[in-house]
Every structure is written in structure tokens, then in C-alpha cells.
A and B are shown apart, each in its own frame.
Chain A
Amino acid sequence: MTKPVLEVRGLSKRFGALVVSDGIDLSLRAGEIHAVIGPNGAGKTTLIAEICGGLAPDAGSVHLNGRDVTGLPIRARAKMGLARTFQISALAMEDTVLQNALLGALGAAGRPWRFFRPVLSDRSLRVVAEAALDRVGLSHKAAARTAELSHGERRQLEVAVALTLTPTAFVMDEPMAGLGTEGGARMTALLGTLKHEAPILLVEHDMDAVFALADRISVLAGGRVIASGPPDAIRADAAVREAYLGDEA
């Protein structure tokens, strides 16, 4: 078995009396989509923040490509190829869609300290940005101001920015949220191809998408992984049904 791209060991975090991460072990291997599901407030977004930086765990470690990144800032982890999408869109609303994508390309290319050359005339960056927009189906809106996008379109842009990073691993927080059925279907298809470029840690409440996409599923409840395994096993797991799925599956 290959070494996991991303590995989380014994991650713990508490806010006061509330334990939000309780000794979480997780791994993400090349080529897979590993879905993390769980009730609201289970600690999924918190887990992502600990993985991507921005929130320091009380205990445990995060390894990326075999390197311990637990103490590193967000920026350093991003440079090492960790691409995150936000549950609540974090986009530069005054800028155009293209400019948002360019920002990602710029980060990936690692050359922000250019003061004179117009960024829009940088062909290599544009190619990356436009390709990403194309893949999420936003090319036709490239020149629009981000503030003018509908909610669903913003979700798509959120993923496009992550794409521009050509990352070694994706960490996505509810990319389907707010997408219509059709948009959701497109996103599902997109993620299905994306995973061959870089594995995806996917937090999602859309069970249709999760069961269609995931190679492995971990279920988080009360900050603890209560089950982990292939989709069919999870679907059948009684504890998971009780804690999360209900009659859905």
C-alpha cells in the first residue's frame, strides 16, 4: 500500500468543556475520495481547520506527504499542495470571477511580488485560471463581478479557485451545498475526475453525492470517528444510521 498523502493522528481539540475533536485518526490516499460525514456540529469543519491550519489542535499531528505540518501556518500548508474550499464562500466580492481564479494561480505559481507587470497579461497564469473556470462551468461569467453571482455560482467558483492550485490534496467543505440538482450532478462528475489528479477529503451532507463518489467514508459524531470503511458497510452500520443517516440511505 502506498503512503497516504494526508494523515491525521490522534487529533484532539476542545473549546472549554466541549470536545470537538476527540482523538481523530484519518488518512487520505492517492486517487481516492475519502468522505467525512456526520451530524451538524460533529466537528467536521473544525477538523478541516486543524488539517489546513488556522486552528491549532490540542494534541495529535497532521502529516502531508510524509511531513509533519502540525505547527505550520495555513500559507505553508497551501504551498505544499493542500487546497481547501470553504463551507461559507470566501471570495473577493468586488473582483471579477477571473481575478478570483487568478489569485489561486498566482499562489500556485508563487510569484506575488511583481509590482509592474499587469497580472492580466501574464499568459501562463491566465491559462491556469481560465481552465479552472471552464471545468466548473463558469467560463461565461469570467468577467462578471463575483458579487453578482448567485449563491450556487459562488460555490462553483470556490471549487475553481482550489483547482487553480493544482494541489496534491483537496480538502472540501460541502462543495455541493447550495447547488441545484443539476449543478450538484455536474459537481459530482467533476469531483469524480478530479480525484485522479489529487485525492479529495470531502465533507458533505449530500448523501447521493457521497455514496456515488466516496471510496471510503468516515463518520464523525461528537468529535470522534464512530465508523470508517467502504460505502456499503457504512450504509449498513446501525450506529451510523442512528447518529446520522436515518432512513436516508
Chain B
Amino acid sequence: MSLLRLENVTARYGAAQALFGVDLDLAEGEVVALMGRNGMGKSTTVKTICKMLPAEGRLIFDGHDLSRLPSHQAARLGIGLVPEGRRCFRDLTVAENLIVAARPGPWDMDRVGALFPRLAERRGQRAATLSGGEQQMLAIGRALMTNPRLLILDEATEGLAPLIRAEIWAVVARLKAETGLSILVIDKSLKELRQVADRAVILARGRVVWSGEMAALDHETSLRHVGV
């Protein structure tokens, strides 16, 4: 059964159209990679799903029509977002960032703290003074604390040290294997995506140019649309 479905979604920034009829399908428990070069509409797609940008077309999550819902209600259906650029709440402490939108479920402070010990050490520090990587961890922790059914990671490993990046990929893999969480992931590292994602959707200039099993993604296609 599909958890998230986009049909013919278009979106625009003012006069400039950014999405031209995007289709996307994500089943329960599936990990889908959204790929494409810079500026091709990946983040825009994410924004339409989270209702941060008005869109036309059909957006269905878990049988609910997202198009009528405001942003916060879409999130409450179980969409957890780790946005591009982190967007931690600067003036809140680490702990406050984590509990600010927490909803009950398996993920709580302790579990996030175990996942990112660095955050646990800095519970009282203002987010604005965290290092870039720490902020990234915080953004992931914050999304997990909402106990989502669908986790959206938009460049979640940007700016992270290899070791931590590897850890995060391990976490993603574990989330997939152990909790059956559905994940929509955007990342520039094809290698990691290949390991974790079941399927891939590739965007170019706001259109889906390729989609299918990750394994079926051949070198030529990826070179043409992703650059490697």
C-alpha cells in the first residue's frame, strides 16, 4: 500500500515554475531516494509534501488528501522533516529544540541522546552556538522526536564528518530494518544511497526523468542526470 503518493504535482515560486507534473510513490516501509542535480526541484518537492509551498495536483498521504491541510496537520499525520539547511531554532537550547514538537512514540530524549551522544552533552546550549554538524544532528533528532511514519531527509548529511555521516547512514539503515520507517532521502552521495534506498526517483528541471528500483539504475542514466 502506498503511504505517500504525488500525482502530477506542479509548484511555482512567484512567476517561476519549479515543478512540472511530478509523480512519486512511496510505499509503507520503503526508502526512496530523490535525486538530481542542483536546482532541479528536489527540495521544492519536499516543500510541497510538507505544505510549505502551495502546489497543484494530488498529494495523498496515508489515504488523506494533503492538499486541503495546513502544514502542521500534514506533519501530524506522521511526516517528519529534516530540512535543507538544518533550520534549528536558534534561541532554543538543544533540549528545547528536541521537545518542542515531540509526540509520543518510541523516540524520546534518551533514545535520541543515545543516537547522538554529542547532543546529550550539550542539552543546555543554545542551538545558535552549535557547530554545523551538531546542528545537523539536532535537526535529525528533532524530526525523530515527532515519531513520524515518514521521515524526510533533505541533505541530512551535509557538512558532517565522515565518521558521523557513516553513523547516520547506519542509523538510516537501522531505522529501515528495525522500525520499518518509511524514508524519503535526498543526498548527493550515490554510494550511500545505493546501499540504503529501495527505489530512486530522478528529477531534472522539475520533471521526473527516471524512476525505478535502485538496483536498476544504470551508470549511464546516473551520469546523465546526477553527474556520476
Chain A CB within 10 Å — which of B13, B130, B163 has the most? B163
A39 to B188 CA separation, bound complex (whole angstroms): 20
Is A40 in contact with B227, judged by CB distance below 8 angstroms?
Answer: no
Chain A neighbourhood of B164, CB < 8 A: 39-40
Is A248 in contact with B166, judged by CB distance below 8 angstroms?
Answer: yes
Within 8 A of A (CB), among B118-140: 118, 129-134, 136-137
Is A40 in contact with B166, judged by CB distance below 8 angstroms?
Answer: no
Q: Which of A38, A181, A244 contacts B227 (CB 8 A)?
A: A181
Is B155 in contact with A246, judged by CB distance below 8 angstroms?
Answer: no
Q: How many residues of A contact B (CB 8 A)?
A: 35
A60 to B173 CA separation, bound complex (whole angstroms): 45
Q: How many residues of B contact A (CB 8 A)?
A: 35
* With A40-B134, A153-B38 as contacts: A178 and B162 at CB distance below 8 Å: no
A13 to B24 CA separation, bound complex (whole angstroms): 49
Per-position contact with A for B81-122: 1 when CB-CB < 8 Å, else 0?
000110000000000000000000000000000000010000
Q: Which of B43, B159, B160, B162 contacts A150 (CB 8 A)?
A: B43
* With A39-B163, A39-B164, A151-B38 as contacts: A184 and B188 at CB distance below 8 Å: yes
Within 8 A of B (CB), among A117-165: 148-153
* A-B interface contact total, Cβ < 8 Å: 101
Is A244 in contact with B162, judged by CB distance below 8 angstroms?
Answer: yes
A15 to B129 CA separation, bound complex (whole angstroms): 10
* With A150-B43, A177-B158, A185-B227 as contacts: A41 and B130 at CB distance below 8 Å: yes
* With A15-B129, A177-B158 as contacts: A182 and B163 at CB distance below 8 Å: no
List residues of chain B with CB under 8 Å of any chain A CB.
13, 16, 36-40, 43, 84-85, 118, 129-134, 136-137, 155, 158-166, 188-190, 226-228
Supply 18 A–B pairs (Cβ within 8 Å), ascending by A. Answer: A39-B133, A39-B161, A41-B133, A88-B132, A149-B39, A150-B39, A151-B43, A151-B155, A174-B132, A180-B37, A181-B188, A183-B227, A205-B133, A205-B159, A205-B162, A246-B162, A246-B166, A248-B162
Q: Which 3 A-B pairs have the closest CB atoms?
A: A40-B133, A182-B227, A152-B38
List residues of chain A with CB under 8 Å of any chain B CB.
15, 37-42, 45, 87-88, 148-153, 174, 177-185, 205, 207, 243-249
